[in-house]
Chain A
Amino acid sequence: MPIANKDVTWVEEPEIGFWEATFLPAIFAGLKTTVRHVTHFQPVTEQFPEEKPTLPLHYRGVHRLNRDDQGRVKCVACMMCATACPARCITIEGAQAPWEDRDKYPSSFVIDELRCIYCGMCEEACPVDAIEMTHLYDLTGFSREEMIFDKEKLLGVFDQTKDSGRDPVRTQRGRLGPASDFEGLPALAPATSVRGDDRSARSVTAGVIQGTAVMESSWEQINEKIEKK
């Protein structure tokens, strides 16, 4: 569509007088500006290795794996971060959790920091606030292997940064996140069937198909629970 004539602002060039035509006043004005910068010298630069910048709070630096209040890794190996990751730099191997409050935990959790694009999608995807990005930005290493961070190293980043003041543990301090909160969640829709000896089958929880033999009782319990609310 052509631009309507009324939408166009026509700017006229300024009149050029004698002094403008000789260029000299413009040059002297320019010289005045440049000289002023020398005489009123106020550098805006930062002397980097000596002066560290104060980064904004939402800065996305090196990842860390958070610990819960018992010092265990918070991650439940749900693979959400690895799925969300556009650079596919997260490799998780899940295993049966040795602890009561969750099913799985990561037996290995590896982030290739060289492949990572620091987009923060993993942080957003994580349902238990286990993976977070810190303010560490000057990440360097002598080899590629050094830049592949395993679980211990990522937990080490947590230990290093949790008390720095700039990287607080943001939510759900100590506890696992809402995804592991089996009690509070009502079943909104059936999703999958589970074995009878599975803990989720025994407890009142989401994601259970009504009609499987073991589930009848728990489904009633759920309905009761919803009615109470």
Chain B
Amino acid sequence: MSSMIPTLMTLAADAVPAAPAAVSVVDLVKAQLPTLITIGAALGAVLGAVSYLIYVERKLAAFMQDRIGPNRVGPWGLLQPIADGAKFILKEDVIPAYVDRALFLLAPCIAALTTMLAFAVVPFGPVDNAPSFHRFVIVPNVDIGIVFIFAIGSLAVYGIILGGWASNNKYSALGSLRASAQVISYEIPLGMSVLGIALLGGTLNLEKILMNQAIGGIGSWYFWTQPLACLIFFVAALAESNRLPFDLVECEQELVGGFHTEYSSMKFALFFLAEYTHVITISFLTVILFFGGWHFPGIAEPGTAGFGPMLLKLGVLMSKVFAVIIVIMLLRWTIPRFRFDQLMGLAWKVLIPLSMANVVAVMTVLQFGWSTWWLTLTSVGLFMAAGFIGVQQAQVALNQGTRRAKSKDHGPVAHAH
């Protein structure tokens, strides 16, 4: 953003004193050429990745369910995403008669736009020694990077809320209501879990956080000192992007589809484009914040320049991100969907207190200048404490149940529980 501001100012300076307009436009384009190229590359990469991630997800889901998955279009079904895309574009675009037209059309655009905008500050490659024409991040050196991502990314839920509301459909509206409640709950642990890293690194700039870990070596990956924060961040981010097991917004069994019931063709596709972009963004964030980004000891070290190391770093980063995405997909078919009260309970009773305690621990350690490794212990301790509280709670519920079962006082009619 800092690089954009001078350009905008030059533009203003050129435009105001009646300078030849053509020159300023050319200057503007010249100055913004790397940005435009990066936007083009990133957008193309994200869209291509999304379509093939859907393919990977379908294949993986099929394997887990002892099926083969898409195998009709092209070899191993590799052209399936293209067929799907063509289908989405060519299908009839139905707008039901009783919808709020403006909002109905706006909602998928908001969803897609905000998630892509959030991707703008994510460094998707080695930023430090990238070629000048392509710098691996659309907006470099944003000092409020994390805040920007959370602020813009959480706007995506407006797309869902508006879409469900504008559909004029009870089930869609219920889905939207759930989305709003869910996003209010999970924004808090999401932000709080990253606060510890911001304090440790002294910055909210994603590139600096990445460099901190790369320079410090594998031991300084924030995963080691903030494992609990990593867990909380990952869970909250899954909930944020409405992925299973937190996809209450679109649970087919209860809501006839959910917020997107009334949507068809490309508008429907835009919602899922947004969801997958969100998944990609949170995977990048998980890797950059907790797992050292492109850094890997022995393979991709900081300070190396040139084309080869750059490719290596890119490969390392992409492999890590892909691994996180695969884990997300595996979790999808592993954990059943939460009930709504369980979802709320998890956020308010577990994740928020834990993340707050974690932030307090980080502040204490920094205040007294202790070794950051104490934070690992604190994380484990907090996790154990949460576990013991959970045992206590379960035991209370169990005792109540057991008392009823053991009293042999069921009366003549036994209730089948």
What is A's interface to B at a CB cutoff of 8 Å? Answer: 2-3, 5, 7-8, 10, 12-13, 15-22, 27, 30-31, 33-35, 37-38, 41-45, 47
Contacts and interface: CB of A to CB of B under 8 A. Distances in A.
Interface stretch (B85-93, B149-157, B328-336): B328-336
A1 to B, nearest CB: 10
Contacts of A21: 387-388, 390-391, 393-394
Given A18-B387, A21-B387, A31 B330 contact: yes
A45 B66 CA distance: 7
B132 interface: no
Contacts of B330: 31, 34-35
A16 B398 contact: yes
17 contacts: A2-B413, A2-B414, A3-B414, A5-B412, A5-B414, A12-B401, A13-B398, A16-B395, A19-B387, A21-B393, A22-B390, A27-B331, A30-B335, A31-B330, A34-B334, A41-B63, A43-B67
Kindly list the 4 A-B residue pairs having the minimum CB-CB distance in the complex, ordered from nearest: A21-B390, A16-B394, A30-B334, A22-B387
Interface in B331-383: 331, 333-335, 383
B335 to A, nearest CB: 6
A32 B414 CA distance: 39
A131 to B, nearest CB: 38
B94 interface: no
A202 B406 CA distance: 84
Interface string B388-406: 1011011100100110010
B2 interface: no
A15 B398 contact: yes
A105 B31 CA distance: 93
B398 A22 contact: no
Given A12-B401, A16-B398, A38-B64, 4 more contacts: A16-B395, A22-B387, A37-B64, A38-B60
Interface of B: 60, 63-68, 71, 330-331, 333-335, 383-384, 386-388, 390-391, 393-395, 398, 401-402, 405, 410, 412-414, 416
Residue among B330, B333, B334, B412 with most chain A CB within 10 A: B334
A10 B413 CA distance: 13
Contacts of B402: 12-13
Contacts of A3: 413-414, 416
A12 B410 CA distance: 15
B234 to A, nearest CB: 12
A20 B402 CA distance: 18
Contacts of B387: 18-19, 21-22
B317 to A, nearest CB: 23
Contacts of A17: 391
Nearest to B410: A5
Contacts of B63: 37-38, 41
Contacts of B398: 13, 15-16
Contact of B405 (A12, A30, A35): A12
A27 B335 contact: yes
Nearest to A42: B66
Nearest to B388: A18
Residue among B68, B71, B416 with most chain A CB within 10 A: B68
Nearest to B389: A21
A197 B91 CA distance: 71
Contacts of B412: 2, 5
A187 to B, nearest CB: 60
Contact of A33 (B60, B334, B401, B413): B334
